Amino acid sequence: MCISSVLLTGISKADNPAQTIAAPHTVALTFDDGPSPIYTPQILAILKKYHIKATFFMVGSNAKLYPEIAQQVVAEGHAVGSHSMTHPMLTKLSDAQLYREVVEAENVITQVSGLKPLCLRYPFGASNAHVRQYIRDHGIIPVPMGFNSFDYDRPGTEKIISWLLKNLYSRQVILMHDGYDKREQTVAALPAVIEGIKKKGLGFSTVCDNSWPYSDLSA
């Protein structure tokens, strides 16, 4: 999904910076907007080839449409987060609408995938104090987008690779996408991105699971 450049700060003053970092000496690969019957399996195959675990922030409606793909993500040992039910701008919703996007999405993803998402990443990177508190009040950790790959702009495989590797750093949480739109450039870029991370001497970790040291509601 397209994200306005106004929202690409990655983290607001009200967010906990800890919630945008991976474990020490690692990078966390994360994928939003899936699951997709086309691109998610391709990404899973690449991750399996490299023996890497990633984090998939699922949209509830997509998980409901493609339950077998959601289940495959979990079966292959990846972490799961929520990315809302229908990918709206959460800051424009009433509390009744937030309930569907936050609570019902969590329930659907849990029922479909078999794994309860600990976190919700805001669609479009958009949040405010009320949205963040609403998410916390329902026992879910609100997380910002992390480092944006801009793969949704489809700038070309080489540009995605060079942008990410040029800006690579330890404890980085990289935002990529596996759903909604054409993601063939993301798929094509992923092996080179993984190789580049490895050449930097960095490992790989997940976020929003029990191994993540920032799984709390204190933000």
Q: Which residues are catalytic?
A: 32, 177
What's the CA dihedral at 194, 195, 196, 199 to 10 degrees? Answer: 130
**What is the Cα 162 distance to its own chain's centre?**
21
- Tokens in use for 69? 């793909």
Main-chain phi, psi angles of 42, to 5 degrees: -65, -40
- Could you tell me which residues come within 8 angstroms of residue 123 by beta carbon, excluding any fewer than 6 positions away? 1, 83, 84, 87, 88, 89, 90
Q: Which helix (H) or strand (E) holds 60?
A: helix 60-65
In DSSP notation, 58-103 reads E-HHHHHH-HHHHHHHHHTT-EEEE--SS---GGG--HHHHHIIII
Closest CA to 102 of 160, 141, 71, 68: 141
Cβ-based neighbour number of residue 112 at 10 Å: 23
The owner of tokens 């229908």 is 86
Query: How far, in Å, CA of 44 to CA of 183, rounded?
Result: 13
